[in-house]
Structures are given as structure tokens and as C-alpha cells.
Chain A
């Protein structure tokens, strides 16, 4: 019971099939270009040796907050880290100043916000603005890892950013340092958790597991740096400890241990130098294959 094929119908179908396969054929070229460009940019990022330090200042401070710190770092380091400053406006516009010097693999980037007010609501907003700035940086500078430093609320903004926005798999954060960051705001009693601390703990599973975290506290007396209670800084352990690779608490006392002086404190500059900056490569080894261990 062979049925005679209905040729006109069959030709129509074959025509549609050829059209479809032709479309597929036309897509080969663009596909090729896309994947070549994509793999090239991935390779570029993967091979990049750029590893910036990205800093966020605390509330009421601008993108110029760390100028003194950078000068001090450059002086003791005998390296000139480029300084790039970004300001995110309330309408999501990004203003940038400064540039990356050639052959500088460790620039310092400071991200400030036009709205730099205190409060959990503002921190959430600033974290979103920071995510925009980070996207801008990732697009304009090819780096596959970075170091994060946040002073005061800057550390809180970073924490919120890592828990809610940071999901790049081609960029990793190697080390995080928060300086005098009040994880429980001005509450010194740890059994009274603020909404922000509760949220930080709730979403801690999103924190980067490969990062090493330092939380630096300053104290003028035995329980405060004059503004932030030491117990509030200490509350950071409930957020980071056990979730990130290493969590280290450091307490600095003595002169310039007041909250706002912390970024200029010599002890902290030394800490940043020791823990946050990459080790200086020995220049003479460039091009020499044998290295002395």
C-alpha cells in the first residue's frame, strides 16, 4: 500500500527546510567571529597580570579620602602605584580621573559616591553603585583578580556587594581588608543584632570562599576607636569566619588609632603593605628561566 507522494507539498516542505538550513549556514560566519573574539578576550583577561587594589572610603568621605594613604604607600614601597578615582553619581553616571601608568600591574582604584551618607538604606544603594563602578572597571581594565580595601562603611558596602552583586567567574577577589568597619553599627552588644548584621549573616553563603579577609579595628581605649565600638567591628566574624578561606582580626592601638585617622595610621599602612600588596617581583629575573627559591 504505497501512497503516491504529494510532490507539491513535499517541495514546499523541502523549500522551507532549505531555507532553515540556509539560515543556519548564514549564522556560521557571525558565530565564528563571536567565539573567536570571546575566547580572545577571555584569554587576555586570563593572562593579564594586572591586579588592582580597589578601595571604598567610609561615609561622608570622597574619592580623595585615600590620597594620604597612597602617598605613604608609594613612599615606603618605592613603587609608584597609579591612582585612579571614580565617583558614581546618584543617576548612575560614572566620573573617572587618573590613569593607569604603563607597566604598572598594581594600580590603586578608589571608588567614591556622590551620595555618601550613612545608614543601611544608603549602604545598599552604594553597593549597587559600586557594582556599576566595578562593571566599568572590569570592562576598561583587563584584570582577573583584585584586592579589596574598605574603610568604615566602605567595608560594609563591600560585604553587601560580595553577598548580592559579585558573581563574576572570570574575576576573583584575592584579599579583603576592612578597616574599622562597624558590622553591627554603633551597637556594642552582640546579642542585639541590627537588621544589617542579620542580613549579612543570612546571605554569607554568597561570600567568596577563596578570599583571605582581614578585619582591622582601632581602639583608643579598651572598647572603641572613638566612634565605632570594637565589639561592632568584631561582629564581622559572624559574617566571614568559616565562610572565607582565612579570617584574621587585627587590633591597632596607640597614636592615630582614632576612627578617622585609621587609614593614615603607620601600623595600618604597614599591614596593607605586608598583607594586601603583591610581593615585588625581582626585576632582574625577567627573561631568566632559572629562579632561586
Chain B
């Protein structure tokens, strides 16, 4: 494997280095790191909320928590709150970060730029309604699915500050007059950003009202979940995976339909015949994608965590993987997506898409050859990936073995890309270190 890999690395390193040195990459990197701790806290809170403190959650179900834990029905409230304001509001932090680092690079007032971008996102996500309700911000815009939108808003705000305000001197300590001058200097871009955000927000509302595009999207999601053609299932899974790594939400990302018609038909068939073999719709989102393609959340990231544990030499990755293990065991992929990062990372695009699809393909073959019955029985929320098929087939041992084999196979799929990413970052660090010392010398000579 040596020479080919070396050649590939030699070809990739200059390109990656060039990418790394762009402002864009720097800003995205920094922003992802800024959101990571919030996502980590939010993911832990969400896991507790969904698997332990929700009656239909995994831990709650198998240990029958609802029947013996005192005050069980009230315990989830603090975690609802924590999750809502960390994980489900993380785009606000991303908008803040993107604008702040953008302004930092161009020597503009970074605090004001960041706060303005965060506010601008909230202005756009504001839902105009004449009813008093609690969630007044559009959850898809301020949650993890709004990541890319937030980066765009942050970037636009930073650009606005770059064009419309003067550079600030970072001479400390600043006097009162300096601060006042800075504030007034930033007033114009702030106003422009907020007014534009208002207009975008209003026209977005109008657009959604007029075209009912929200309903169209919901319809697509419902259709995707209800579909039982093997081709559509694979296509929708592919779409979901590609969209997810680019920071958007795909059709399979949320389990909207608790009971799609195909799932109900399958379950009824299995209950009537006392066997899950030969159900009417064996190849659906539930039987294939959810049961075999989401170990550790979208993209089989549990496999990447294991690959890092076994083969990585970088301290940072080990730390991220250790913190991310528990969330990925319960299918929450946020910490790994932003911590490594996997999000926007072209190296991981191939395994991120490939691993789930390969596993789905194996599962489809196993169904076709009657190795195991399709996954038709209910599975609690947050069930660890390798156990989903086991529970969903009423405890079929082959399903458990297939789950473990799938996990091992996914580790193998992720392995070379994990190594590649590692070698690239080591090589890139070395080169950029060299270049920095050279550039450093030049600056001193100026």
C-alpha cells in the first residue's frame, strides 16, 4: 500500500494546505471548535432526556424506569431546557463564531460583529404569529440543521463589517473615547445587517406561506419514510448522508412518522402470522436505514470512534473520541461531527456515505436470503446501533451477529480514511510550521 498512499498524500498535501490557509477554512474550523463544547453538553443532556427520561426511551424501556423511579414524569424538564438551549440553539453560537472570526481576520470589532450575527440569525428565524406560543424561533434554523445557514449569516455579517466599518486598533487598554468611537463606527454595519435580516426573515415567512414549502418538505420526508421500494430507500439514504455532512437536514434525518403505513402493514403481518419472515415491505427506511445504517447516528460514526481508539496517534482525536463515545453509543453524532471535525470534511465524505449504504446492502441481501426476518417490531428511542436489529426482530441472534459484523465492517471502511486524515494533518502541520517560520523571518525583515 506504501507507494500509492505516499503519492496520494504528496498530491493532496499542497491542495489541503492551500485550503487550510484560506480564511474560509480558518473561520469554519474555529467556529466548529467554538460550538463543540456546547454540542457535547447538549448531546449528553439530550441522551439523558431521550433514552432515560422519556417513557419510550431505550434505558427507560428496558429497565421500566417509569414504574419505579419517583417523580419520573417531572424529571425531564431541566434536561428539556438544557438541550433546547445548547444543542437546539447551536446555530446561534455558530453565527456568532463565524462573524467573530471573520471580523478578527480583518481587524474589525469582533464582539459586536459576533453578537450582531447571532441576533441576525434570531431575527431571520423569528416566527411571526398572532398566537402566544413558546417556541417562537424556527427550530430548523437555530438547531444543528441550521449550521450552514448560520455560517453564511456569520460570514455575511463579517463581510459587512469589513466593508462598512474601519479597522480597530487592538492597543490595550482602550480608553472610553476609543470604545465609543468603535461602537459608533460599527453602528452602520450593525444596522445594515439587522435590517437585511428583517427583510430576509419577512420574505422567508412570506415565501413559506405562499409556497407552503414547509409542507412540501414535510411531505417529502413522509413520502421517503413511507416508501417501500428498495431503490427509493437507498437513494433517500444517500441524499440524507450527503446533506448531513454538508450541514443540512436530509429526508431520513428525523423519524417524523412514528408509524408509516408500510411499518404498520409489516407489524400487522408479523403479529397475525406470528413470524416476521415474508412481511409485505421488507426494504423500507425502518428495516434498512434505521436498523443498519445509523450506528452512532447518521454516517455510522460509532465506527469512526472505534477506528480512532484502535489506530490513532493524535492526542486530540483520542480526547474527542473518548468524550464522544457515550453519545455515539446512543446514536447522537453531534460531538464527533463537530469535534474532529467530520462536518464539511471532504476526506470523510466517502466512508460517511459508503459505510451505511454497504451495511444496508448486506442487510437487504440477508432479508432476501431469509437469514433473518426484517426488522418490524418497535425499537425504543436511542437504542445503541448494533442492538436495533436485535430488538426489532424480537431478539433474533443472527440480527445481533449481523449488527456486530456491520460495526466491524464499518470500522474497516473508516480505517484508511482515518489514517489518511491523520497523516495529512501531521504532514500539513509540519509544512505549515516550516512556512510560518519562513514567513515569520520575512515579517521581521520588514
Q: How far is it, in angstroms, between the C-alpha of A157 and the C-alpha of B50 when the chains are bound?
A: 33
> How far apart are A19's CB and chain B's nearest CB, in angstroms?
9
What chain A residues lie within 8 Å of B315 (beta carbons)? Answer: 6, 9
| B387, A13: Cβ atoms closer than 8 Å | no
Q: How far is it, in angstroms, between the C-alpha of A16 and the C-alpha of B61 when the chains are bound?
A: 26
Query: With A6-B315, A17-B306 given, is the CB distance from A28 to B264 under 8 Å?
Result: no
| Residues of chain A from 17 to 41 with CB closer than 8 A to chain B in the complex | 17, 20, 23-24, 27-28, 30-36, 38-39
| A17, B400: Cβ atoms closer than 8 Å | no
Q: Is B278 an interface residue (CB 8 A)?
A: no
Contact check: which of B62, B271, B322, B383 meets A13 at CB < 8 Å?
Answer: B322
Q: Is A286 an interface residue (CB 8 A)?
A: no
> Of residues A1, A20, A46, which shows the largest number of chain B Cβ atoms within 10 Å of its Cβ?
A20
| A17, B395: Cβ atoms closer than 8 Å | no
| B318, A28: Cβ atoms closer than 8 Å | no
Q: Report the nearest A residue to B322, measured CB to CB.
A: A16
Determine the interface band of chain A, counting residues with CB < 8 A from chain B: 20 to 34
What chain B residues lie within 8 Å of A20 (beta carbons)? Answer: 325-326, 329
Q: Is A190 an interface residue (CB 8 A)?
A: no
Q: How far is it, in angstroms, between the C-alpha of A133 and the C-alpha of B313 when the chains are bound?
A: 60
| Residues of chain B from 253 to 278 with CB closer than 8 A to chain A in the complex | 258-259, 264, 267-268, 271-272, 274
| A23, B271: Cβ atoms closer than 8 Å | no
What chain A residues lie within 8 Å of B390 (beta carbons)? Answer: 28, 31-32, 35
What chain B residues lie within 8 Å of A96 (beta carbons)? Answer: none
Query: With A13-B309, A24-B384, A169-B259 given, is the CB distance from A46 to B271 under 8 Å?
Result: yes
Query: With A27-B62, A36-B394 given, is the CB distance from A16 to B309 under 8 Å?
Result: yes
| B62, A31: Cβ atoms closer than 8 Å | yes
Q: Is B415 an interface residue (CB 8 A)?
A: no
Q: Report the nearest B residue to A33, measured CB to CB.
A: B62
What chain A residues lie within 8 Å of B326 (beta carbons)? Answer: 20
| B313, A35: Cβ atoms closer than 8 Å | no
Q: Is A3 an interface residue (CB 8 A)?
A: yes
| A23, B329: Cβ atoms closer than 8 Å | yes
| A34, B61: Cβ atoms closer than 8 Å | yes
| B321, A13: Cβ atoms closer than 8 Å | yes
| A24, B387: Cβ atoms closer than 8 Å | yes
> How far apart are B385's CB and chain A's nearest CB, in angstroms?
9
| A31, B387: Cβ atoms closer than 8 Å | yes
Q: How far is it, in angstroms, between the C-alpha of A150 and the C-alpha of B285 when the chains are bound?
A: 41
What chain A residues lie within 8 Å of B306 (beta carbons)? Answer: 17
> How far apart are A139's CB and chain B's nearest CB, in angstroms?
12
Query: With A28-B400, A35-B377, A36-B394 given, is the CB distance from A14 to B310 under 8 Å?
Result: yes
| B271, A31: Cβ atoms closer than 8 Å | no
| Residues of chain B from 386 to 414 with CB closer than 8 A to chain A in the complex | 386-387, 390-392, 394-395, 400
| B62, A16: Cβ atoms closer than 8 Å | no
Q: Report the nearest A residue to B64, measured CB to CB.
A: A34
Query: With A24-B384, A46-B272, A169-B264 given, is the CB distance from A32 to B395 under 8 Å?
Result: yes
| A17, B309: Cβ atoms closer than 8 Å | yes
Q: Is A43 an interface residue (CB 8 A)?
A: yes
Determine the interface band of chain B, counting residues with CB < 8 A from chain A: 35 or more
What chain A residues lie within 8 Å of B12 (beta carbons)? Answer: none
| Residues of chain B from 95 to 116 with CB closer than 8 A to chain A in the complex | none
| Residues of chain B from 3 to 54 with CB closer than 8 A to chain A in the complex | none
Q: How far is it, in angstroms, between the C-alpha of A5 and the C-alpha of B386 when the chains are bound?
A: 29
Q: Report the nearest A residue to B61, measured CB to CB.
A: A34
| A14, B426: Cβ atoms closer than 8 Å | no
What chain B residues lie within 8 Å of A32 (beta carbons)? Answer: 390, 395
> How far apart are B433's CB and chain A's nearest CB, in angstroms?
14
What chain B residues lie within 8 Å of A43 (beta carbons)? Answer: 271, 274
What chain B residues lie within 8 Å of A12 (beta carbons)? Answer: 318
Q: How far is it, in angstroms, between the C-alpha of A9 and the C-alpha of B427 when the chains are bound?
A: 22
Q: Is B77 an interface residue (CB 8 A)?
A: no
Q: Is B149 an interface residue (CB 8 A)?
A: no
> How far apart are A161's CB and chain B's nearest CB, in angstroms?
20
Fill in one digit per residue for B278-314: 1 if any A CB lies within 8 Å of its CB, else 0. Answer: 0000000000000000000000000000101110010
Q: How far is it, in angstroms, between the C-alpha of A46 and the C-alpha of B272 when the chains are bound?
A: 7
Fill in one digit per residue for B229-267: 1 if any A CB lies within 8 Å of its CB, else 0. Answer: 000000000000000000000000000001100001001
Q: Is A42 an interface residue (CB 8 A)?
A: yes
Contact check: which of A5, A35, A169 meets B395 at CB < 8 Å?
Answer: A35
Contacts A17-B309, A24-B387, A34-B380 aside, 12 further interface pairs with beta carbons under 8 A come to A13-B308, A14-B310, A17-B325, A30-B63, A31-B383, A31-B387, A33-B62, A38-B377, A42-B378, A46-B268, A47-B271, A169-B264
- 27 A-B pairs with CB atoms under 8 Å apart are A1-B426, A9-B315, A9-B318, A10-B318, A13-B321, A17-B310, A20-B325, A20-B326, A20-B329, A24-B387, A27-B62, A28-B400, A30-B63, A31-B62, A31-B383, A31-B395, A32-B390, A34-B61, A34-B380, A34-B391, A35-B390, A35-B391, A36-B394, A42-B267, A42-B378, A46-B268, A169-B264
